[in-house]
């Protein structure tokens, strides 16, 4: 590992973070034991294991980086901002050779990332953009506004909005306000649906259509369930809810529970969207309890991100395909963006079963 003179600040950080780690924070550690060929260590900070997508991301990153010969120090923060900060400080104190961060709330990480930059540790922003910092080298993600656009276009087509004879009701369940992806997704959704709200083709009876009114902190499934219950009891006693524009599979599970409790059946089940194509969501789509999701191939994302790690460690140029879109408030971060795809009952087989992304029994047995 590189020899560096640690600054006084870093030593303070090290003492603090080792203390915190010793206090039993809940992040899971899976690092340090693998013997990579190069002796280089990559710290990977993931947000949470509460959703299947991030478990897959962590697993993919670990195995791709190990295949490239690196040791991997992988930690999950269970959506706790301070836990993630302490984990990243510990990675810096361990003098990792590269940091990969999928932030819980990147505003809390600005100083730690600065320290990383000062001691020469390159930082790669994974899936969620690290905001308001110039201490980031590259960004690997999906076209996040494209995710929202695809959700909007799916609703437009499925609800036949272009030739609608009568208005349909809709409610929105948007992502976490501290996640730049959520803001972009909302923008994408509204780029398609706003005109239908304006001309009365879509009616949102709660009146909650802005991002601020519909965002759900930390992408909480429970909050989505409660919001849906409140909408149903407050605004849909006499009229059915036709469309749930949901930004996340986790929200779709909460919405499903609220609809079942309110007595919705297959005859009046609304259109429900999602994001991530989790196995449970694919199962619900097959069973008719969710209508669609957005498939994001996290294996591909991990490939691109691992390639970036290798390039920054070896001092070469990584593969990027966007140098304009991702302005984090301090800099435009050079990015590689993967393409999201809409998935529903008609194409799930081709996208996730035939491709080998999931085994059929894994989907059928999802609980
Ligand atoms: C990701 C989504 C995910 C969400 C909730 C976002 O940053 O881009 O794929 O559904 O976080 O975990």
pLDDT at 178: 96
Residue 71 has pLDDT above 60, yes or no: yes
Task: Give the binding-site residues of ligand 1, using a 6 Å CB cut-off.
Answer: 51, 53, 127-128, 179, 181, 219, 248, 275-276, 296
> Of the ranges 29-43, 133-147, 256-270, which one carries the lowest mean pLDDT score?
29-43
Supply the DSSP symbol for 333.
P
pLDDT at 64: 97
Note the helical H segments in the chain. Answer: 8-22, 52-67, 81-93, 110-118, 144-158, 180-198, 211-214, 221-235, 249-261, 279-286, 298-314, 348, 360-364
pLDDT at 202: 98
**Given the structure tokens 């976490």, which residue do they identify?**
176
Report the alpha-carbon distance of residue 73 to residue 32 in Å, rounded.
Answer: 6
And the tokens for 59?
A: 């697993």
- Residue 262 alpha carbon to ligand 1 centre in Å: 28
Listed residue (76, 82, 9) closest to 44, CA to CA:
76
Residue 48 has pLDDT above 60, yes or no: yes
Atom 5 (ligand 1) nearest CA: 219
What atom of ligand 1 comes closest to residue 48's alpha carbon? Answer: 12
Q: Calculate mean pLDDT across residues 262-277.
A: 97
Cβ proximity of 339 and 143 under 8 Å: yes
Per cent of the chain over pLDDT 90 is 89
Report the alpha-carbon distance of residue 13 to residue 312 in Å, rounded.
Answer: 24
29 confidence band (pLDDT: 50, 70, 90):
very low
Atom 9 (ligand 1) nearest CA: 276
pLDDT in tens, 315-326: 999 999 999 999
pLDDT at 30: 44
CB atoms within 10 A of CB 42: 28
Q: Look at the chain and count its residues.
A: 367
Report the alpha-carbon distance of residue 130 to residue 95 in Å, rounded.
Answer: 20
pLDDT at 23: 27
Q: Calculate mean pLDDT across residues 17-43.
A: 50
Residue 13 has pLDDT above 70, yes or no: no
168-173 vs 341-344, strand pairing mode: unpaired
What atom of ligand 1 comes closest to residue 219's alpha carbon? Answer: 5
pLDDT in tens, 159-197: 999 999 999 999 999 999 999 999 999 999 999 999 999
- Residue 101 alpha carbon to ligand 1 centre in Å: 14
């Amino acid at each position: 590992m590189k020899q560096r003179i640690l600054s006084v600040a870093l030593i303070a950080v090290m003492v603090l973070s080792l203390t915190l780690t010793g206090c039993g924070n809940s992040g899971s550690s899976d690092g340090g034991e693998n013997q990579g060929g190069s002796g280089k260590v990559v710290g990977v900070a993931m947000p949470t294991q509460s959703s299947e997508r991030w478990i897959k991301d962590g697993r993919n990153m670990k195995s791709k980086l190990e295949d490239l010969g690196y040791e991997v120090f992988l930690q999950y923060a269970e959506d706790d901002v301070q836990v993630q900060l302490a984990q990243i400080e510990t990675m810096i104190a361990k003098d990792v050779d590269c940091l990969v961060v999928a932030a819980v709330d990147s505003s809390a990480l600005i100083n730690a990332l600065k320290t990383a930059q000062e001691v020469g540790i390159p930082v790669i922003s994974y899936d969620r953009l690290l905001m308001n910092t110039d201490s980031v080298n590259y960004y690997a993600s999906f076209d996040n506004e494209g995710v929202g656009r695809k959700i909007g276009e799916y609703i437009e087509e499925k609800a036949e909005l272009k030739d609608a004879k009568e208005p349909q009701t809709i409610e929105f369940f948007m992502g976490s306000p501290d996640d730049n992806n959520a803001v972009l997704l909302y923008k994408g959704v509204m780029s398609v649906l706003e005109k239908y709200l304006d001309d009365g083709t879509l009616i949102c009876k709660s009146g909650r259509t802005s991002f601020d009114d519909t965002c759900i902190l930390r992408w909480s499934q429970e909050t989505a369930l409660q919001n849906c219950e409140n909408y149903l009891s407050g605004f849909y006693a006499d009229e059915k809810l036709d469309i749930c524009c949901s930004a996340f599979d986790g929200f779709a599970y909460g919405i499903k529970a609220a609809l079942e409790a309110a007595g919705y059946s297959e005859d009046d089940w609304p259109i429900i969207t999602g994001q991530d194509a989790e196995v449970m969501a694919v199962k619900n789509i097959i069973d008719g309890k969710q209508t669609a999701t957005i498939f994001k191939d996290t294996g591909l994302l991990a490939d691109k991100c691992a390639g970036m790690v290798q390039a920054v460690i070896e001092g070469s140029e990584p593969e990027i395909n966007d140098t304009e879109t991702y302005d984090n408030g301090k800099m435009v971060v050079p990015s590689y963006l993967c393409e999201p795809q809409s998935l529903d009952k008609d194409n799930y087989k081709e996208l996730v079963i035939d491709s080998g992304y999931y085994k059929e029994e894994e989907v059928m047995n999802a609980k």
